[in-house]
A and B are shown apart, each in its own frame.
Chain A
């Protein structure tokens, strides 16, 4: 699976949009981009995933560049409960059957 790189930390004001970038320049054509987050002392939680089209669900939006070498997770109106470590993962499987490689992630702090 392709390696991803993310900034180690970011701050965001409460109520504003949080834009979390991820680089995956070596991603292959069959690899999806997944985002998970881990709130302190809890198990990770799935957020969203996509292949090449932009995706949106009730939690977030995922914008993938046309060359698929990078993506951005957008939390449209960040709340204090969104403070967590966000992991961007490239994975070729869409059944959840592959183990996930968690890099260092981005620690997002939402500031009141």
Chain B
């Protein structure tokens, strides 16, 4: 089946710094990728929809200037958390569509902001 990878799997950063998370579709091209956030003991919440070559569509309440999304190629989307704060600590998960019925999820990135 199709594989989606994320890098890094875990990251710890200091408050005020920026962190970039990569999401790659390894064996298929993904015109659409999604970014989700999951706080402890909660469900996944969609942050934004990323379309290759165009601006991402953000969900209500998600700051686009804080969570920068770039989808420059059909196999790579990046999420940059700018000026991270402790409340941004969360599990960030990306997913991608290969055009079949299944959505393929990455393994997630656990961000801890100290």
B103 touches A46 (CB 8 A): yes
Q: Does A112 contact B (CB under 8 A)?
A: no
Q: Residue of A at shortest CB range from B103?
A: A96
| Residue numbers in B under 8 Å from A7 (CB-CB) | none
A43 touches B101 (CB 8 A): no
B43 touches A105 (CB 8 A): yes
A46 touches B107 (CB 8 A): no
| Residue numbers in A under 8 Å from B91 (CB-CB) | 41
Q: Does B32 contact A (CB under 8 A)?
A: yes
B43 touches A99 (CB 8 A): no
Q: Does B100 contact A (CB under 8 A)?
A: yes
A41 touches B103 (CB 8 A): no
Q: Does B44 contact A (CB under 8 A)?
A: yes
Q: Residue of A at shortest CB range from B48?
A: A99
Interface residues on B, range: 20 to 34
A95 touches B100 (CB 8 A): yes
- Given known contacts A95-B99, A96-B100, A44 and B110 CB-to-CB distance under 8 angstroms: no
Q: Residue of A at shortest CB range from B98?
A: A96
Q: Residue of B at shortest CB range from A45?
A: B105
Q: Contact check: which of A42, A96, A105 meets B99 at CB < 8 Å?
A: A96
Interface residues on A, range: 20 to 34
A96 touches B105 (CB 8 A): no
B46 touches A99 (CB 8 A): yes
| Residue numbers in A under 8 Å from B78 (CB-CB) | none
Whole-angstrom distance between the Cβ of B36 and the nearest chain A Cβ = 8
Q: Contact check: which of B32, B97, B106 meets A43 at CB < 8 Å?
A: B106
Q: Does A9 contact B (CB under 8 A)?
A: no
Q: Does A94 contact B (CB under 8 A)?
A: yes
Bound-complex Cα distance A96 to B32 (A): 9
Would you mind naming 22 contact pairs between A and B with Cβ atoms under 8 Å apart? Answer: A32-B101, A41-B108, A42-B107, A43-B4, A43-B6, A43-B105, A43-B106, A43-B108, A44-B44, A44-B105, A45-B105, A46-B104, A96-B100, A96-B101, A96-B103, A97-B99, A99-B34, A100-B34, A100-B46, A102-B36, A102-B45, A104-B43
